[in-house]
Amino acid sequence: MNRLMLNKLILALSTASAVIGIGFLLWILTTLVVKGISSTHLSTFTHDLVDGGIRNLIVGQFTMALLATIIAVPLGLMAGIYLREYSQSPKLSATLRNLSDVMMSAPSIVIGVFVYALFVDPFGGYNGWAGSIALAIMMVPIIIGTTDNMLALVPQELREAGIALGGSKHKIILQIVLRAAKVGITTGILLSFARIIGETAPLLFTSANNQFFTMDMSGQFPSLTVSIYNLATYPDAASQDLAWAASFILTVIVLIINLGGRYLTRHKH
Amino acid sequence: MGGKLFRNVSFLSATLSFFILLGIFVILFHYAQDAMHTFGWDFLRIDQWEPGEDDEGGMFGGVIPIVGTLLTTLIAMVIAVPLSMGIAIFLTEIAHKNLVKPVGVAIELLAAIPSIIYGMWGLFYFAPIIQHTFGGNGVGLLTAGIVLAIMIIPFMAAITRDAMNTTPPVLKESAYAMGATTFDVVKDVVMPYAKGGIIGSIILALGRALGETMAVAFLIGSVLKFPSKITDPTTSIPVLLANNFSEAQDLELSSMYLLALLLFVVSFIIISLAKFYFLGRSAK
Amino acid sequence: MSTQPLSQFETTKETTEETTKQKDVMRVESLTYTYPGAPKPSLHAIDLPIRRNKITALIGPSGCGKSTLLRAMNRIHDLYPGNHYEGRILLATPEGREMEDILEIKKENDLIRLRQRVGMIFQKPTPFPMTIFENVAYGLKLSGMKNKSDIEERVVTALQGSAIWKETKDRLHESAMGLSGGQQQRLCIARAVALKPEVLLFDEPTSALDPISTGAIEELIAELKKEVSIAIVTHNMQQASRLSDYTAFMYIGDLIEYNKTSKIFLNPDQKLTEDYITGRFG
C-alpha cells in the first residue's frame, strides 16, 4: 500500500538524519579527543605560546570573556527587567525584543569591524579592552533574552504578594522576582559565557593575539581562539599539534560550562 | 528613593540594542564613504581586489566574495534543511521517549561547539575526503558548504523541534484516530501548525550561514576568483574580512567597511524578516 | 476490589449469531490494561458490551479508568509503545455476523482501518490547521478516496448530518480555526461521521463547551445513534442520564455496575454506584 510505504520511507529518512547528525558529533568529538590528548602535555599548560604552550592564551581568553561578562550581565539584566517588569507598551517591548534578537544574530565579524572602528583605530592599535567589548556586544542580547524569558516564568502572584505587603516595585523586583528567577538566569549567563569564550571572529582585529603572557589590556592580548586559527594554518606539525591541543581544551571548557548550566536547571526544576 | 533611577537605568539598557545596531550602521556607513564615492554601484560588479601602486587608489569590487557567500550559503541550506527537518521529525514523532532526551542534548551540544573547531576538523579530516571523492584540491565551495551545513543543522533542528513540540498532542491523536500515518500527521497537522516556527528557524539559520566566518575561513580556499565548478576555491565576505582587514589601508579599508556594511544590512533584513513575521515571540 | 458476576450480561456467544446481526457491535471481555512503565494495571478484567445503535455512557470519578477504557477501543493507546493488554475486545465485522478481536491486530495497515471503523471525538475540539472542507475531507482522503465529486458529496452529507451545514456552507474554504468552540466540536464530529464508522467514541466531548453548545452536541449525538453505535465518557451525570441507553459505572479501574441507564440511576444494585449517583463522593 502506497501511503504506508511513503510513511515508512519518510520515517526511515528521518531516523537516518538523526543518525547522521549524531554520527558527525561523534566523529568530530573523537577526532578532537584523539588528536587533542596526544598533543596535550603538561608543558602545554605551563608554557606560553612563545614556548610552545597555551598558558597565556587560556588566561587571556578567560580574562576577556570574564570582563565581557562583567560588562554584559548588568546591562542585559536591566534591559530584561525593563522589558518584563516595567514596559507599559506591548508594542515598544515587542520592538525592543525583536531588535535584541536581531543583534544576537548579527554576524560576529561585523561586530569585530565595528569595534575596530571605535576602540582600536582611534586608540592606536589592537588591545584587550576592545576584544572584551566585542565579546560583551555579543553577550548582551543573549542575557536580555534569558532574563526576559525567566522573569516571565515567575508567577504574577509573587509580585502581587510583595506589593500587598507594601514593598516598592524596584525592591520587589530585586529582592523577590530576581531571586525567584535566579537559577534560570544563572544558567543563561553560563550558556552565554560558553558561547562567547569560543568566539574567534570578533577578536581577530580587536584584541588580535599575543605570544607572551600579559595582563595589560591596553595592548595586543593573548587569545586562544585566534591562536588556533593561526596555528592550524602553519605548515609545521608542531604548530598543528598545538592547535589540536588548544581546540581540545577549548571544547572541553565550552562543553563543561554548557553541561554545568543545564545541570543547574535540571537540579532545580 | 532609587525606584525612579532604577527604572530609568533599566529603560536605557533596554534601548541599548537599538543604539548599538544604529551605531554599527552609522559607523560602517561612515567609513565606507570613500569606497562608495569611488565605485558607486559598480562595487557590486567589479571582480577585482587590486591595491594600486604605492597603496594609492586601486580597484576594489565585491562581486566575487558576494557570490562566494551566496553559493556557500546555498549549498549549506540545500543540505541542512532536509536533514534538520528529518532530525526534528525523529525527535518529536519517532524516537522512543528514552532516546529523545539524550539525542536532543547531543544535538544541542553540537550547536554549542565553537565554529573554529568545525573549521579545523573540516580542513584536516573532511577536505581530504571531498578531494578524494570529487577531485579538486580539497578546499573550495563544496567543502565549505557541507561543513557549514553540519554547523547549522543542530541549530535549525533544535528550533524546528521546539516549534513542532508546540503542536497539542490531542490534535495529533485525533488525526491518528482517523487512520493517519505518522507521516500524514507530520505533513497535515504538525507542519501546518508549526509553520511559522519552522520557516523562522530556516531563515535564522540562513542568516547564520551568511555571516559565518571561521568554519568557512578554513575551507573555502580564500582565492579571489569566480569558481567555475563546485569544488573550486573562492572566497566569501566574512573570510575576506577575516584575512585581509587588518592589513588594509585607505581605499581598500574603506572597501572592506563597505563589504561589512553589505553583510550587515543583508543579515539585518533576513533576521528581521524571521523575527517580525514568523517568530512572534513578543507574547511569550 | 472485585466485581460480582454481572448476571444481566448476555454471555450467550453462539446462540443467535447465525441468523441475525450480533446485538453487540463491540464487546470488551475481561480486559486488563497496563500503561507503559506502570507497575500495576489501570483496568482490571473489564467486561462491557456496546449495543448496536444505542448510546452507552461510561461514568465514574476522575481516574476511574473510563477514558483509558475508551481509548483501548480504537487502540489509540498504541501510539505510545510499551503498554500491555490482556483479554479481548471484540468488534462486529461490517456484515455483523461475526466478531473479531481487535487486540489481535498487528499490522499498521489494519490498525489504520480499525480507526476508520471506530471513530473518536476528543475532550477539546481538535480542528486541523486547514479549511473547514479539508477538515471533513481529510479522513476520506486518508481512506483512499480520490474522486472529487464523491468526496464533496460525502463532506456535505456529513456536515448536514452533524448539524453544522447552515453555519459553514458559505465559508467551507475558510480556516476551521475561525469557528466557535461548539462549532469546532460539531465539525470534528462531522469529520468522524464522514468516514461512516460503525462505532463512535466520545471522550467527554462537551466538557470544554458552554451550556448552549453542549445542548447542540447532545442533540446531535442522540440523532447520530440511528446510524452508528456510540460510547461516551462523561463526568456529567445529567448528561449520562439524559443521553444514554446503557450506563457503566467505573471505579479505580474496575467496572462496578452496568445496566440500562434508568436502572442505574433509579435503582442501582451496588451501594458504591448509589453513593456516586447521589453525589456522596466523586
pLDDT tens readout for residues B28-55: 999 999 999 999 898 998 888 888 776 6
Collect all residues with Cβ–Cβ distance below 8 Å to C208 and sequence separation of at least 6.
Answer: C123, C124, C125, C181, C185
Helix H or strand E segment including B256: helix B250-273
C109: left (phi over 0), alpha (psi -120 to 50) or beta: alpha
Residues of chain B with Cβ-Cβ distance to C142 below 8 Å are: 178-180, 184
* Distance in Å, alpha carbon of B151 to nearest chain C alpha carbon: 32
Dihedral of alpha carbons B208, B214, B216, B222, sign: positive
**pTM metric for this prediction:** 0.83
Q: Highest mean pLDDT range out of B95-104, B134-143, B148-157?
A: B148-157
Distance between CA atoms of residues C56 and A259, nearest Å: 53
Amino acid, res. C228? V
- Rounded average pLDDT over C92-106: 88
Closest Cα to residue C272, out of C262, C257, C258?
C257
Residues of chain C with Cβ-Cβ distance to B175 below 8 Å are: 128, 138
Closest Cα to residue B139, out of B219, B226, B223, B243?
B219
- Nearest-CA residue of chain B relative to C72? B177
Q: Are B126 and B120 in contact (CB under 8 A)?
A: no
Strands of C24-34's sheet in order across: C43-51, C24-34, C84-92, C99-101
**Using one digit for the tens of pLDDT, what is the confidence trace for C229-264?**
999 999 889 999 999 999 999 999 999 999 999 999
Residue A269: the pLDDT is 41
- Rounded average pLDDT over B147-157: 93
Residue C6: the pLDDT is 44
Residue B55: the pLDDT is 62
Subunits touching B (CB < 8 Å, at least 3 pairs)?
A, C
Assigned CATH topology for domain C24-263: Rossmann fold (3.40.50)
Q: Is the pLDDT of residue C12 over 90?
A: no
Residues of chain B with Cβ-Cβ distance to C107 below 8 Å are: none
Dihedral of alpha carbons C99, C100, C103, C108, sign: negative
Give CA separation, B26 vs A103, A118, B31, B35, B97, in Å: 15, 11, 9, 15, 50
Collect all residues with Cβ–Cβ distance below 8 Å to C272 and sequence separation of at least 6.
Answer: C249, C251, C256, C257
Cα angle, residue A25 at apex, residues B214 and A189 outer, rounded to 5°: 65
Torsion (CA) A46, A50, A51, A57 in degrees, nearest 10: 20
Q: Is the pLDDT of residue C4 over 50?
A: no
Mutation for A interface: C107, C110, C112, most A CBs within 10 A: C112
Distance between CA atoms of residues B96 and B86, nearest Å: 15
Residue C5: the pLDDT is 45
Residue A1: the pLDDT is 58
Q: What stretches of A105-235 show up as alpha helix (H) in DSSP?
A: 108-115, 128-152, 156-164, 169-172, 178-180, 182-197, 224-233
Helix-then-strand count for chain B, H and E: 13, 2
Mutation for B interface: A8, A57, A200, A239, most B CBs within 10 A: A200
Residues of chain B with Cβ-Cβ distance to C195 below 8 Å are: 178-179
CB-CB under 8 Å, C142 with A4: no
Residue tagged 588528536 (cell numbers): A35
Give chain C as a DSSP string.
Answer: --PPP-TTS----SSSTTTS--SEEEEEEEEEEE-TT-SS-SEEEEEEEEETT-EEEEE-STTSSHHHHHHHTTTGGGGSSS-EEEEEEEEE-TTSS-EEEGGG--SHHHHHHHHHHEEEE-SS----SSBHHHHHHHHHHHTT---HHHHHHHHHHHHHHTT-HHHHTT-TTSBGGGS-HHHHHHHHHHHHHTT--SEEEEESTTTTS-HHHHHHHHHHHHHHTTTSEEEEE-S-HHHHHHH-SEEEEEETTEEEEEEEHHHHHHS-SSHHHHHHHTTS--
Going from N- to C-terminal start, the domains of chain A cover 40-268
Give CA separation, A160 vs A150, A168, A185, A256, in Å: 18, 11, 22, 38
Domain with residues A40-268, CATH architecture = Orthogonal Bundle (1.10)
Amino acid, res. B194? A
Cell numbers placing A202: 570578533
Residue B278 binned pLDDT confidence (cut-offs 50, 70, 90): confident
Distance between CA atoms of residues C151 and C131, nearest Å: 15
- B58 by DSSP, 3-state: which? strand
One digit per residue, pLDDT tens: chain A, 269 residues?
Answer: 578 889 999 999 999 999 998 898 889 999 999 999 999 888 889 998 888 889 999 999 999 999 999 999 999 999 999 999 998 888 898 899 989 989 988 999 999 999 999 999 899 899 999 999 999 999 999 999 999 999 999 888 788 877 777 777 888 888 888 888 989 999 999 999 999 999 999 999 999 899 899 888 999 999 999 999 999 988 898 999 999 999 999 999 999 999 998 888 775 44
Collect all residues with Cβ–Cβ distance below 8 Å to A36 and sequence separation of at least 6.
Answer: A244, A245, A247, A248, A249, A251
CB-CB under 8 Å, B181 with C126: no
CB-CB under 8 Å, A101 with B268: no
**Using one digit for the tens of pLDDT, what is the confidence trace for C125-181?**
988 888 999 999 998 988 888 899 999 999 999 999 898 999 999 999 999 988 999
- In the A/B pair of chains, how many CB contacts fall below 8 A? 263
Distance between CA atoms of residues A229 and A247, nearest Å: 10
Cα distance from N-terminal residue to C-terminal residue, chain B: 32
Phi/psi at C53 (nearest 5 deg)? 55, 30
Q: Is the pLDDT of residue B1 over 70?
A: no
Q: Are C92 and C99 in contact (CB under 8 A)?
A: yes
Distance between CA atoms of residues C146 and C199, nearest Å: 24
- Nearest-CA residue of chain A relative to B256? A113
Residue B187 touches chain C, beta carbons under 8 Å = no
Dihedral of alpha carbons C264, C267, C269, C272, sign: positive
**Using one digit for the tens of pLDDT, what is the confidence trace for B154-172?**
999 999 999 999 999 999 9
Residue B171 touches chain C, beta carbons under 8 Å = yes
Q: Are B68 and B220 in contact (CB under 8 A)?
A: yes
DSSP state, residue A194: H
Collect all residues with Cβ–Cβ distance below 8 Å to A101 and sequence separation of at least 6.
Answer: A141, A145, B271, B275, B281
Q: Are A110 and B264 in contact (CB under 8 A)?
A: yes
- What percent of chain B stands above pLDDT 90? 62
* Distance in Å, alpha carbon of B112 to nearest chain A alpha carbon: 7
Give C30-57 as a DSSP string.
Answer: EEEEE-TT-SS-SEEEEEEEEETT-EEE
Residue A89: the pLDDT is 85
Beta strands of chain B (E only): which ranges? 49-51, 58-60
C53: left (phi over 0), alpha (psi -120 to 50) or beta: left
Q: Is the pLDDT of residue B281 over 60?
A: no
CB-CB under 8 Å, B170 with C142: no
Distance between CA atoms of residues B32 and A117, nearest Å: 11
- Rounded average pLDDT over B82-100: 91
Q: Is the pLDDT of residue C20 over 60?
A: no
Cell numbers placing A111: 561586530
Collect all residues with Cβ–Cβ distance below 8 Å to B58 and sequence separation of at least 6.
Answer: B50, B51, B52, B251, B252
Beta bridge partners of C131: C175
All CATH 1.10.3720.10 domain ranges of chain B, comma separated, are 64-278
Closest Cα to residue A71, out of A129, A133, A113, A115?
A133
CATH code of domain B64-278: 1.10.3720.10
CB-CB under 8 Å, B188 with C138: yes
Going from N- to C-terminal start, the domains of chain C cover 24-263
Distance between CA atoms of residues A132 and A66, nearest Å: 8
Give this complex's ipTM. 0.91
State the CB neighbour count (10 A cutoff) for residue C149: 7
